Chains A and B, each alone.
Chain A
Amino acid sequence: MRITTKTIALLLAAGLFQTVQAQDEKKITFTGMARGLYYGDKLTQDSSEPDTVTAPKLNSGHVMVDLGVNIRPNKNTEILGMVRVRNDYGGFWGSGVTFDVRQLYIKGVIGGIFKYQLGDFNYRMSRYTFWNYDQEVISQQPAIFRQQTDVINYEHFYDNDNSRRQQGASLGFALVFRKFVKELQVNAVTTRVRASDFAQVDDRLFSGFNMQLVQSKYLNLGFNYANLYDVSGTSKNNVGLRNPVMTGTVQAAFIFKNYEAKLDGEFGKSRTFYQNSTTAPDWNGKFLDFSLKLSQSKWGVHLTGNAIQIGSAFRSPGTQTKRIDFAQQALAYTRISNNQELRPFTMLDLMRESSFYVLQLRPYLMDFAPKYDNITPYGDATPNRQGMIVRLRYEKKYSPITAEFAHYALQEMRSEGTLNPRMFSRNQFQAEVKVNEYFKNWKKRFNVSFNYRSDQTTREGEELVRGVDLKTNVLSTGFEIEVLPSFDLMFGMQQLNYQGFDYTAVRNNFSEIFNFNEYEVDGEETMLAYGARYRFSEKTFISAQMSRFNTQNKLSTLPAYDLNQFMLLFQMKF
């Protein structure tokens, strides 16, 4: 009897231990996102004759869940399969439902040392090798507009860290030394950009390697190698792309009391060529980007001077592939007016049309919209730029206000179509104020943001070539004020106007310029929105907003029009 009792007690103890263990290390957890989104739109055209063709009122929406199952078969391995279940607005009894796979990967640690991931993942290297720059115009908006932009960004795996979604395998580890050098980080990645069709299209891969040597907090050296290339022999086509990019980075800091000087630089070169092709160009490009930042932490003043020189032949698909494909057409109100003319995209479309956005690397320079950004359409890695950028920033610990003024003075390294290079000038001012922090007992949030950007592109004209003068101004401001606990009222305004003339390059399949198109614009776009939001938690909120968008292009045959939008968004991230 004693033995039996003891045995039972032991079994119970063992069972309890197992239960506790199972609770400590959950083998399966769930992550993902749930969202309900509704749009109600109304189009009003400023036309003498009423439009009797275009549907003025449109409704759309959906409810969806991305349910990711994290499976941990052992403590060093994690598998994630994410399913998307979506139900479109208006669907009853199963109609309008779609199922799909959103992402799938396995990751873990080999031998306790090498961290790996296989399948879908986000990856980032340096700013000139593999970096996903923000989209134009809509990246520095007030919070009320960012809700829509965040939906687009989530859909396309655009995280705040500027990483890029890829499919492949990656490996990383770090060596931390005790003497002379603090740390050496090593990362390597290979992703499949395109699969062979076994006929004329090769497999296309992207491979990257990075080594980061952290000597101390004063010195950080890096080496990056990235290559987008076709794998010869995977199809009958013997012409294959090669686009290696190699860069070095340096970060050095000097700190004395409240003063700090930081040197941050990246330099390197690229080569773009097509193996076994006699017609394709073979380009070698170089770039140099150094900045010196001087800070006085007590005053919160930071002054940065940045010198850049990006060669016109510098090609780095990992960083120059844009988020927006401006060759696409808006799906909402694609054609308007009685003549059913194509409606040019606007910044409102960029905020909500998923069809504009791309995920995969492009081996060529994509189209861009000069009216939105003619100076840095490919981010910092925009080719054919040289000059200076100066930034003066105010940012101080515990200070409610952050402000920055930036001035760009750039020009083309190689002029296009004439002997005169384009000159680029940008002035940008942005500020964010946490108004409530000025008051001791005001705990609720009250954030105000302001952003102004003024761009100008000029080039002197010649006898047969018209002078270039293109101006873009973007003004945005907004606030969010917490009137009840977790309940915010929001307001935002963004105005964009553009006027002037430029030429846009017409490129062939190898991105060589073979012609120019005249590009003349004179118009403006204005968005105004107000709404309310309730935050259940930092990751969950429900928001309703009304916005009014107005645009007019004086050089277009399309009438000016207003687009009133009601949006309801209920979002949960977990």
Chain B
Amino acid sequence: MTKRLTQLVCVALTFIISLEVQAQTDTVKASKPIEVIGTSHDKNRDGCIINLPSQDVNLLLELKQDKYPGNEIGMMPKKDPGGLKNLQVSGFYRFYGTYQRQIDPYLLNAVINDTARGRNIFIGDDSQLPNLLINVSGKPSDKTSWGFDIMMFQFLNGIVGTTYGKQIPDSLRPDVQNPLLGTRLGGNLGLNLGLNLNGKFKTKYGNLSVNAGGIQWVSISDLTMASFRGYNRFMLYERNPWDPTGLALSSRYDQYFQQGSIDQDTRWGNRAFFGLVLQGAEMPGRISFLLMAGKTELNGGFDPYPNYSYGGKIKKSFGSKNFISINSINSRAATDSLSTEYFGFSVITTEFNLEHRGFAFKGEVGGGTYYSPEHNAGWGEQMQFKLSTPLKSKWPQVELHYYRISPNVVNNNAIYWNTSVAEYRVNNIPAGSIGSSALLIPTGSSMVRLGQMTNNRQGLNLNLQKSTKHFSFSGGLGFASELTPAAATITYTNPVNNVTRSRFWRWTFPQGVGPYQRYNSIYRDVYQAVNLSDDSSGVVVNEKHFNMMEAQIKYKGKLFGKELFVFSMLQANSASRDWSPITVFNEEAYVRQYVSEVEAYWAIRPGVLINTYFGFERTLGNYLTDINNETFRPRNQTGRGIGAGMDIDLGKNTRLYFRHRWYSFEDKSFELDQFNGRELTVELKAFF
């Protein structure tokens, strides 16, 4: 019965429609027989009118049915939902390949007797550094936007299949004949910086903006949340993944000469944050604020238990550059699923900046505490002050920097390092993984760059800089002392060939490796630990004192009529038992290190620039440090690096960079700790 009725209706309708369409075809010349009144894109009407000659059977065919709201039947919704106002796509492509030729076998891991291979070809950079990054952002309205990035990896590893699936377990890898089974979107495609939602709104009390999601790049102040920017004294030969291409081939080097710094991307000086950030500006009384709640990278991970950070700042501005602000950051994490115990830290500071006729006095003072089930030493003080003279005068600009950070203050989101408190480990995630706390164990008393601060230390730095048309000088010296005797360990890095050395251990960040198990690998860095023997029955009794000296000379000129840039830098650093105003150059120092680096960039023709590099370092320990059992001598290390390369302009925003390096390192006292070889890196980078 049902079938029959349906058939009947269909036949009748088909007949009527065909009859009427035929009728209008016959009279097509009469008067505009078919009038289209809309399409599916017309919000008002859909369908067409068929005007027929017979007044009795004229038909209107119309698809829009919202004249009878509530009775609508069929495909829903009837109304067009609208769309985005704006969608933007930007990003970069970056190919990075490394070829290493290791002449002598170098013991990477003595425990498993793993040595560096003679030849090593590696395509790619790091697990967070993709080949292609596409930023997609949309604006639903003038006041709101969202954005995310898509990253893609390509390792040229010869796996040619239906998908790029190197990191997908074999059990989940789709079959070539059945690519819909198994994991398809995986290791080579993902989000790098995640997904953000942004909104801003104006009120009569000021402009507010809200950002949700992550990763967002946030900084509050040096002692609360920021990353170390230093005095912009570094070498450009080893390119960073985040380095831009620049408008012209030589603009990067020219800017470094002129301004003492180069453009960096948004993450420079900031910290990664996932959560909610609320900011207010142009508020009454020239007040602005920032509030945030969520996770820093140190809180990262998917455990549902409490593990978060929160903080912010409120700032009152005076004049054009003067301000005073109150800053705070707090981290809190449960040690167990029942949330019975917590560990974390709290920091609160006040910051100010006063400028008058080019003289600037800037400071930050506050306190902080670290607590865990194993540690609660209460609050401690932290402060830093900077006094600087005008930049544009006939005299060199001078900056005096004093800081003091109590051993009780621990804040891994600030620009200083923790060297005093053995932090609570919430998990056993291997070092280098998200959420891992393995790297937060104090690195001993670190020998750090000038300007870099650590807790349990106070110090004074003096910096000068002066530029002329062709020369620029930037340098400084500083000293710092521990507030209380800390671990009987000193750590330091080897600046020459340091990134090359970190590439010996790819995509893992092991600790206690190398021939004598004294190297620790971190992101683009390797540091080694020195054990001291001047303790008293295992108890450290001596405070350590540190001295830093840096001098950088930059030259810009012409050679055979072509642009030439020469940058050189000297470092002399020491760690010793007794205080000294300048670097200790004798065996009174536990460790002393001298580093000399020179690099040159010569634009030989439009679109081609050649570069060279030379680096030499010496690191010496005294007899209160590790002594080799065979030579009975302490560290006596020499590192050398010689490089040559080329920058090639491939068109707008596209560059090709070659870097070749001959590297060598030896410790005459510890014979196994030596390597030498060659490294070639090729980078092709294009922004869009």
Chain A residues within CB distance 8 Å of chain B? 25, 29-32, 34-36, 38, 52-60, 63-65, 67, 70, 72, 75-76, 78, 85-99, 107-109, 112-113, 115, 117, 121-126, 159, 161, 163, 170, 172-179, 183, 185-187, 189, 209-212, 214, 220, 222-223, 225, 227, 244, 246, 251, 484-486, 534, 536-537, 539-540, 542, 568, 570, 572-574
Residues from chain B with Cβ under 8 Å of A212 in the complex = 71, 73
Given A78-B41, A92-B214, A93-B127: A124 in contact with B72 (beta carbons within 8 A): yes
Q: Which of A76, A96, A209 contacts B39 (CB 8 A)?
A: A76
Label chain B's interface by main secondary structure: mixed
Are A175 and B76 within 8 A (Cβ)?
no
B148 within 8 A of A: yes
- Check if B354 is an interface residue, CB within 8 A of chain A: no
The answer on a CB contact under 8 Å between A93 and B434 is yes
Residue in chain A with minimal CB distance to B36: A112
A78 touches B76 (CB 8 A): no
A35 CA / B140 CA spacing, docked (Å): 12
Give the residue of A92, A121, A125, A574 whose beta carbon is less than 8 angstroms from that of B215. A92
Q: How far is the CA of A210 from the CA of B76 in the complex (A)?
A: 14
Given A36-B212, A58-B305, A185-B73, also A63-B300 (CB < 8 A): no
Closest Cβ–Cβ distance, residue B74 to chain A (whole Å): 4
Tell which of A38, A107, A486 touches B40, judged by Cβ atoms closer than 8 Å.
A107
B210 touching A124, Cβ below 8 Å: no
Cα–Cα, bound, A123→B73 (Å):
8
How many Å from the CB of B448 to the closest CB on chain A? 26
Contact of A568 among B60, B74, B201, B276 (CB under 8 A): B276
Tell whether, in the assembled complex, residue B60 and residue A55 are in contact, meaning their CB atoms are under 8 Å apart: no
Write 11 A-B pairs (CB below 8 A) sorted by A numbering.
A30-B138, A58-B305, A63-B213, A78-B41, A94-B128, A109-B46, A122-B76, A124-B74, A209-B6, A212-B73, A570-B210
On whether A173 and B128 interact (CB within 8 A), knowing A31-B83, A55-B339, A117-B75, the answer reads no
Docked CA distance A11–B59 (Å) = 43
Q: A36-B197, A38-B276, A536-B201 are in contact. Are A55 and B304 (CB under 8 A)?
A: yes
Q: Quick check: B73 and A90 within 8 Å, CB to CB?
A: no
Q: A78-B40, A251-B71 are in contact. Are A92 and B274 (CB under 8 A)?
A: yes
B155 vs chain A, min Cβ distance (A): 16
Are A57 and B191 interface neighbours, CB within 8 A? no
Q: Determine the distance from Cα of A227 to Cα of B9 in the docked complex, in whole angstroms.
A: 17
CB-defined contacts of A175 to chain B, threshold 8 Å: 16-17, 59-61
B212 touches A568 (CB 8 A): yes
Q: Are B197 and A55 in contact (CB under 8 A)?
A: no
Question: In chain B, residues 1-50, which have Cβ atoms closer than 8 Å to a Cβ of chain A?
Answer: 2, 5-6, 9, 13, 16-17, 34, 36, 39-41, 46-48
**Contact pick for A537, options B128, B144, B294, CB 8 Å:** B144
Q: Which 4 A-B pairs have the closest CB atoms?
A: A176-B60, A63-B213, A574-B140, A36-B212
Indicate if the CB atoms of A63 and B140 lie closer than 8 Å.
no
- A174 touching B47 in the complex, CB below 8 Å, given contacts A34-B140, A536-B144: yes
Query: Chain A nearest CB: distance from B490 CB in Å?
Result: 31
- Report the minimal beta-carbon distance from B218 to chain A, rounded to whole angstroms: 14
Please report the C-alpha to C-alpha distance between residue A60 and residue B84 in the assembled complex, in whole angstroms.
29
**Are A93 and B274 within 8 A (Cβ)?**
no
Please give the distance in Å from A31's CB to the nearest CB on chain B. Answer: 5
Interface residue B308 (Cβ < 8 Å from any Cβ of A): yes
The answer to whether A123 and B148 touch across the interface, beta carbons within 8 angstroms, is: no
A172 and B140 contact, CB distance less than 8 A: no
What is the distance, in angstroms, from A93's C-beta to the closest C-beta of chain B?
A: 5
A93 touches B148 (CB 8 A): no
Asked whether B299 is an interface residue with its Cβ less than 8 Å from the other chain, the reply is: yes
Measured CA separation A189–B73 after assembly (Å): 11
Is B146 an interface residue, CB under 8 A from the partner?
Answer: yes
Beyond A93-B192, A178-B59, A537-B141, 5 extra complex contacts between A and B, CB < 8 Å? A92-B297, A209-B9, A210-B73, A540-B199, A574-B85
Chain A residues, Cβ within 8 Å of B41:
25, 72, 75, 78
Question: Contact between A540 and B141 (Cβ–Cβ < 8 Å)?
Answer: yes
Query: Are the CB atoms of B295 and A122 closer together than 8 Å?
Result: no
Q: Does B82 make an interface contact (CB < 8 A)? A: yes
Contacts of A99 in B (CB 8 A): 185, 189-190
Query: Measured between C-beta atoms, what is the minimum distance from A214 to chain B in Å?
Result: 7
Instruction: Identify the closest chain A residue to B84 (Cβ).
Output: A30
Residues of A within 8 A of B87 (CB): 30
Residues of B near A52 (CB, < 8 A) are 338
Min CB gap B597→A, angstroms: 31
Query: Given the complex, which residues of B lie within 8 Å of A223, measured CB to CB?
Result: 9
A113-B136 Cα distance, complex, nearest whole Å? 38
Contact between B63 and A56 (Cβ–Cβ < 8 Å)?
Answer: no
Q: Are B339 and A124 in contact (CB under 8 A)?
A: no
A56 to B59 alpha-carbon distance, docked (Å): 68
Cα separation A125 to B574 with both chains bound (whole Å): 83
Cross-chain contact A90 with B302 (CB below 8 angstroms): yes
User: Does B77 reach chain A (CB closer than 8 Å)?
Assistant: yes
Task: Tell me whether A59 and B144 are in contact (CB under 8 A).
Answer: no
Q: Which residue of A lies closest to B126 (CB)?
A: A93
Choose from A38, A58, A187, A251 the contact partner of B73 (Cβ within 8 Å): A187
The answer to whether B306 touches A59 (Cβ under 8 A) is yes
Q: Is B58 an interface residue (CB 8 A)?
A: yes
* Residue of B5, B84, B194, B303 touching A29 (CB-CB under 8 A): B84
In the complex, B462 has a CB within 8 A of chain A: no
Residues of B within 8 A of A246 (CB): 2
Most B Cβ at <10 Å: residue of A36, A126, A537: A36
Q: Are A88 and B199 in contact (CB under 8 A)?
A: no
Q: Which residues from chain A contact B272 at a C-beta distance below 8 Å?
A: 92
Q: A87-B194, A91-B274, A115-B46 are in contact. Are A30 and B302 (CB under 8 A)?
A: no
Decide: A70 near B141, CB < 8 A? Known: A25-B41, A78-B40. Answer: no
- Across the interface, A31 reaches (CB within 8 A) one of B84, B146, B194, namely B84
User: In the complex, what distance in Å separates the CA atom of A86 from the CA atom of B201?
Assistant: 26
Q: Verify A570–B74 contact, CB threshold 8 A.
A: no
| Contact indicator B190/A176 (Cβ below 8 Å) | no
Q: Given the complex, which residues of B lie within 8 Å of A176, measured CB to CB?
A: 59-62
Cβ contacts under 8 Å, B632 to chain A = none
Knowing A107-B40, A212-B73, the reply to whether A572 touches B338 (Cβ < 8 A) is no
Contact of A92 among B77, B201, B212, B434 (CB under 8 A): B434
CA distance in complex: A172, B195 (Å): 39
Assess whether B179 is interfacial by the CB under 8 Å rule. no
Shortest Cβ distance from residue B492 to the other chain A in the assembled complex, whole angstroms: 28
Report how far A23 CA is from B150 CA in the complex, Å. Answer: 28
Determine whether the beta carbon of A75 is less than 8 Å from that of B74. Answer: no
B191 and A94 contact, CB distance less than 8 A: yes
Q: Which of B63, B75, B203, B334 has the most CB of A within 10 A?
A: B75
B77 A159 Cβ-Cβ under 8 A: yes
Residues 365-419 of B at the A interface (beta carbon under 8 Å): none
User: Which residues of chain B have C-beta atoms less than 8 A from A178's C-beta?
Assistant: 55, 58-60
Contact A29 B302 (CB under 8 A): no
CB-CB < 8 A to A540: which residues of B? Answer: 140-141, 143-144, 199
* Chain A proximity of B91: nearest CB distance (Å): 15
Q: Which of A92, A125, A573 makes the CB contact (< 8 A) with B300?
A: A92
A122 in contact with B75 (CB, 8 Å): yes
A174, B138: Cβ atoms closer than 8 Å = no
Q: List the A side residues contacting B297 at CB < 8 Å.
A: 92
Confirm or deny: B467 has a beta carbon within 8 angstroms of a beta carbon on chain A. Answer: no
Residues on the B chain within 8 Å of A85, using CB: 148, 150, 191, 195
Query: Within the assembled complex, what's the spacing in Å between the Cα atoms of A124 and B77?
Result: 9
Q: Could you tell me the distance in whole angstroms from the C-beta of B148 to the nearest C-beta in chain A? A: 6
Q: B162 in the interface, Cβ–Cβ < 8 Å?
A: no
Find out whether the CB atom of A59 lies under 8 angstroms from the CB atom of B140. no
Taking a contact as CB atoms closer than 8 A, the residue among B36, B60, B136, B195 that contacts A87 in the complex is B195
0/1 string, B168-212, CB within 8 A of A gives 1: 000000000000000001000111101111010101000000101
Contact string against A for B residues 66-108, beta-carbon threshold 8 Å, 1 for contact and 0 otherwise? 0010011111110001111101000000000000000000000
Query: In the bound complex, how far is the Cα of B71 from the Cα of A126, in angstroms?
Result: 8
Q: Which B residues, 255 to 312, have Cβ-Cβ distances below 8 Å to chain A?
A: 272, 274-276, 294-295, 297, 299-308
